[in-house]
Amino acid sequence: MHLTNLQIQLAARPIGFPKLTDFQAVETANPVPAEGELLLETLWLSVDPYMRGRMSDAKSYAEPVKLGEVMVGGTVNRVVESKADGFKAGDIVAGFSGWQRYAIANPKQLRKLDPTLAPISTALGVVGMPGLTAYFGLLDVCDPKAGETVVVSGAAGAVGSIVGQIAKIKGCRVVGIAGTNDKVKWLVEEMGFDAAYNYKDTPNHLAKLRQLCPNGIDVYFDNVGGVITDAAMIHMNVHARVAICGQISQYNLEQPEMGPRMLGMLIVKRAKVQGLLVTDYMARWGEGTKELGGWLKSGKLKYEETIVDGLEKAPEAFLAMLRGENTGKMLVRVEGN
Amino acid sequence: MHLTNLQIQLAARPIGFPKLTDFQAVETANPVPAEGELLLETLWLSVDPYMRGRMSDAKSYAEPVKLGEVMVGGTVNRVVESKADGFKAGDIVAGFSGWQRYAIANPKQLRKLDPTLAPISTALGVVGMPGLTAYFGLLDVCDPKAGETVVVSGAAGAVGSIVGQIAKIKGCRVVGIAGTNDKVKWLVEEMGFDAAYNYKDTPNHLAKLRQLCPNGIDVYFDNVGGVITDAAMIHMNVHARVAICGQISQYNLEQPEMGPRMLGMLIVKRAKVQGLLVTDYMARWGEGTKELGGWLKSGKLKYEETIVDGLEKAPEAFLAMLRGENTGKMLVRVEGN
């Protein structure tokens, strides 16, 4: 065990796209667990788009991280010391201990992992928060039916790649939108999407969507927003369902963007647009995890990880994820793992 | 019976706000019913915001009216001559025979009215299409619960005034938005709204909504769109439901309007926004009509009509309705009624 803890803290609130200097690495005293608590060592750290929101002090669904506080985030940890019933040193758990080497946790905040079932890092991806977001967002908000056309933006990301695969399991035609030709190839060849396109070299999204979705769009799962979403809305079918999971094109704008008003389109299409937050489904996470785990085991669900080594590299990993440099889940592998 | 039919036809596709010259009154030969058909005389004609869409050739949920064709619209008619089983001269029916004195109809397109149950004009209002729109839009799309706050734009119109009253029946706090001080007074004093405000003399909608909805907005029933809706979206509560019934602020714009992108807000609020068209509920119209009729009879539901006399005045009535000059349902009373 190291003599000190290492924390990656929020140093400044970003203006526009975050910078490395918005973070600071600080050595702090090792935390000591009280009775009923656990001392955890971080093995894997997840970096996710929602963290951009926590860096800002704009009102949102969760409190912002304070300046000088450790960045929040989902983790996979090893128990170093247990003062709580039911846990012992060496146990592997999924938690939310943030961007730091060591942390104290209450057992209630943790889920014990069985490393023989699946690689432990999948607790941050395909059978963790991104997988559950895909599962409930697609199935509960969008109710896809066999034969329908499902379009996913941010398709090569941790959530989008699972959305598309679940839609295929449900018998849909699946079209992905991603940001590189390699991702497009990966979506079609590895993830089983029916079609995909690179938004960065597509001048006319509407024309492209019309070409790839000749029967229109029944379900649109949106991680991106902006002009891609404008086009998807226009190509929607009557009674289309749209899940708004993320709007990553908007998170780093210095000024809110204007766009064409599209509520009139919702009347014409009698479409539903619904915002999605996975924590609203917490009571059903067991159901989701079980189903995702089953698909994973049977080979129906594949996943990919983009791994950055070293806790001190977490800010770089986070910025790279915001730039779309990951394929599948972006993870930080912490030293000692 | 007149020797000729009189039709109000579409003469030109409007650019921006429609003009009287976009219509033409044309005398045509009286229609003659074939076997199985009815000859109808129009008694009441409904003018509604959706007709603005039919005057345009932009793609929408229904075919546009062609130039030189009679304007479409819901009607209450008297049977002049019946060549169909089950109908006789003198019967009163609700139909869709448009802006003309006489029309031929197939019995399947008609609903027989019992003039002893309610004034026959209510078949175009509180127990007709606007009432059913309010009923299914509020109850099916928005699922309001007792104690929740419901905001209605276009609140003094044919749909909005019914939406607010149904929300009161369901135990909600109801706030209306309308365009004159008289309407505001009428909503609160006659229709039983808890509060209302005049959007035309309100510079800051968000501040006004915060004042009138101290517990936030749980349900927003939108007939108007634009800046009013922008503000309502910001003041939504978590898990708010928004029915998009109309966007009358947008129908007469020569260029589509831009507005702040608000899909990110839907994530923060996990809100649902759904477009609404009453014809999607056709299989349940019987249920809706029965419930609305019951509320009307028991005095729980009130209604108001703004009546213009004379078929040739239909274009004026329609334009006045688009300008918001009606309170409650705007109707044209055709000569002979």
Encoded tokens for B273 = 């926004």
What DSSP character marks residue B142?
A: I
For residue B227, give the chain A residue with the closest CA: A261
* Residues B217 and B309 occupy one common structural domain: no
B64-121 pLDDT per residue, tens: 999 999 999 999 999 999 999 999 999 999 999 999 999 999 999 999 999 998 999 9
- Asked if residue A295 is part of any domain, the answer here is no
Q: Do B263 and A247 touch (CB under 8 A)?
A: yes
Q: What's the pLDDT at B61?
A: 82
How far away is chain B from the Cα of A132, in angstroms, using its nearest Cα? 16
Q: Where are the alpha helices (DSSP H) in chain A?
A: 50-54, 129-136, 160-169, 181-189, 205-212, 227-234, 263-269, 285-297, 314-322
CA B106 – CA B112 distance, rounded (Å): 12
* Residues A212 and A183 occupy one common structural domain: yes
* Residues A134 and A255 occupy one common structural domain: yes
Strands A38-46 and A102-105: antiparallel
- Asked if residue A288 is part of any domain, the answer here is no
Is the pLDDT at B60 greater than 90? The verdict is no
CB atoms within 10 A of CB B59: 9
* Residues B117 and B190 occupy one common structural domain: no
* Residues B103 and B166 occupy one common structural domain: no
A77-134 pLDDT per residue, tens: 999 999 999 999 999 999 999 999 999 999 999 999 999 989 999 999 999 999 999 9
ipTM, interface predicted TM-score of the complex = 0.94
Is the pLDDT at B306 greater than 70? The verdict is yes
Q: Do A273 and B261 touch (CB under 8 A)?
A: no
Q: What's the pLDDT at A39?
A: 97
B249-294 pLDDT per residue, tens: 999 998 889 999 999 999 999 999 999 999 999 999 999 999 999 9
Q: Do B261 and A256 touch (CB under 8 A)?
A: yes
* Coil/strand/helix, residue B16: coil
Q: Do B273 and A277 touch (CB under 8 A)?
A: no
Q: What's the pLDDT at B5?
A: 97
- Asked if residue B152 is part of any domain, the answer here is yes
The H or E element that residue A148 is part of is none
Whichever domain contains A182, its CATH number is 3.40.50.720
* Residues B53 and B97 occupy one common structural domain: yes
What DSSP character marks residue A194?
A: S
Long-range contacts of B190-194 (CB under 8 A, 24+ apart): B190/B302, B190/B304, B191/B161, B191/B164, B191/B165, B191/B302, B192/B164, B192/B165, B192/B168, B193/B155, B193/B164, B193/B168
How far away is chain A from the Cα of B25, in angstroms, using its nearest Cα? 30
Report which of B318, B229, B305, B218 is spatially closest to residue B269, judged by C-alpha positions. B218
Q: How far is Cα of residue B143 from the mean position of the Cα atoms in its chain? A: 20
* Residues B16 and B104 occupy one common structural domain: yes
CA A244 – CA A248 distance, rounded (Å): 11
Tell which of B244, B249, B251, B278 to mutate to test the A interface (max A CBs under 10 Å). Answer: B244
Domain range for A25 is 4-121+304-333
Considering only CB atoms, B244 lies closest to which of A226, A257, A263, namely A263
- Asked if residue A74 is part of any domain, the answer here is yes
CA B240 – CA B216 distance, rounded (Å): 9
Instruction: Name the pLDDT band for B62 (thresholds 50, 70, 90).
Output: confident
* Residues B60 and B186 occupy one common structural domain: no
Is the pLDDT at B155 greater than 90? The verdict is yes
Report which of A133, A167, A169, A170 is spatially closest to residue A150, judged by C-alpha positions. A167
* Residues A257 and A141 occupy one common structural domain: yes
Count of structural domains, chain A: 2
Q: Which residue has the tokens 């008694």?
A: B43
Q: Do A238 and B61 touch (CB under 8 A)?
A: yes
Q: Chain A residues with CB inside 8 Å of B59's CB? A: 268
Count chain A–chain B contacts defined by CB atoms under 8 A: 118
* Residues A45 and A113 occupy one common structural domain: yes
- Asked if residue A137 is part of any domain, the answer here is yes
- Asked if residue A171 is part of any domain, the answer here is yes
Is the pLDDT at B336 greater than 70? The verdict is no
* Residues A117 and A134 occupy one common structural domain: no
For residue B244, give the chain A residue with the closest CA: A267
Kindly report the average pLDDT of chain A as a whole number: 96
Is the pLDDT at A60 greater than 90? The verdict is no
CA A314 – CA A333 distance, rounded (Å): 9
Encoded tokens for B76 = 């209450």
Q: What's the pLDDT at A213?
A: 98
A61-90 pLDDT per residue, tens: 889 999 999 999 999 999 999 999 999 999
Whichever domain contains A106, its CATH number is 3.90.180.10
How far away is chain B from the Cα of A184, in angstroms, using its nearest Cα? 25
**Average pLDDT, integer, range B155-181:** 98
Instruction: Name the pLDDT band for A337 (thresholds 50, 70, 90).
Output: low
- Asked if residue A14 is part of any domain, the answer here is yes
CA A35 – CA B30 distance, rounded (Å): 93
Is the pLDDT at A336 greater than 80? The verdict is no
Q: Chain B residues with CB inside 8 Å of A261's CB? A: 225-226, 247, 250, 256-259
- Asked if residue B243 is part of any domain, the answer here is yes
**Cβ-count burial B189-228 (b if 16+ within 10 Å, e if not):** eebbbbbbbbbeeeeebeebbeebbeebbbbbbbbbbbeb
**Average pLDDT, integer, range A38-46:** 98
Tell which of A48, A222, A242, A267 to mutate to test the B interface (max B CBs under 10 Å). Answer: A267
Is the pLDDT at B313 greater than 80? The verdict is yes
Cα Rg, chain A, nearest whole Å: 20
* Residues B151 and B265 occupy one common structural domain: yes
Q: What's the pLDDT at A254?
A: 87
